[in-house]
């Protein structure tokens, strides 16, 4: 909690990431073009079939044994693969010292946005912050209790939303929910669902 407070307190050192160098990936992720040539409305929707029973709950296999940021295997596996409605407790991400340290280093060194990978498959799901400062990302996540992502921070190749707002991976990992606010879509995501090591 102290680490996050210190991050938010130093607003004067906040910065916005440049979109230069991201335009091609942003256009691929955000502006997925339909066959008719028009931009697809976000979020990209899926039906219940993506969360149909598989070998291991809604996924083909358990979450990775060695998750990033010290996230708990059992909690992650339960939320990712055997759950449709529940979440890690609010503020869980603030208890993960390794994650808080990465946020701080990223902010202070103005390094590239942090990449978040599926805890089951290791596929890239989110990259943040994009189009806002790290302070803004942290502040919003603190306000809502879970890491909160915006449309441009989602890798739509592997992320879908169900009609009820449930946010999932294309392979059946439960991620969280889309809870829109006055700024637009806001994807409220469990840290344990996006703490995977990148796929080899």
Q: Domains in the chain and their CATH numbers? A: 55-200 (2.170.150)
Query: Mean pLDDT over residues 164-190, rounded?
Result: 97
- Residue 10 confidence (pLDDT) above 60: no
- Residue 27 confidence (pLDDT) above 70: no
Strand partners, 169: 159
pTM of the model: 0.82
pLDDT value at residue 40 = 73
Locate 129 and state its tokens: 């912050």
């Amino acid at each position: 909690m102290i680490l996050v407070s210190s991050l938010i307190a130093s607003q004067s050192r906040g910065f916005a990431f440049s979109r230069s160098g991201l335009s091609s990936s942003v256009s691929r992720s955000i502006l997925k073009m339909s066959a008719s040539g028009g931009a697809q409305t976000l979020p990209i929707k899926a039906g219940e079939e993506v969360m149909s029973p598989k070998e291991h709950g809604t996924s083909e296999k358990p979450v990775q044994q060695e998750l990033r940021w010290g996230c708990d295997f059992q909690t992650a596996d339960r939320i990712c693969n055997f759950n449709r409605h529940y979440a890690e407790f609010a503020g869980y991400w603030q208890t993960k010292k390794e994650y808080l340290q990465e946020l701080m280093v990223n902010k202070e060194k103005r390094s590239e946005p942090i990449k978040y990978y599926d805890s089951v498959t290791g596929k890239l799901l989110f990259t943040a912050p994009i189009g806002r400062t790290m302070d803004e990302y942290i502040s919003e996540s603190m306000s809502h209790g879970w890491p909160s992502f915006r449309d441009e921070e989602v890798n739509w190749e592997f992320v879908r939303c169900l009609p009820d707002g449930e946010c999932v991976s294309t392979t059946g990992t439960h991620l969280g929910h889309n809870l829109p606010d006055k700024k637009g879509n806001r994807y409220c995501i469990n840290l344990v669902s996006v703490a995977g090591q990148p796929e080899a």
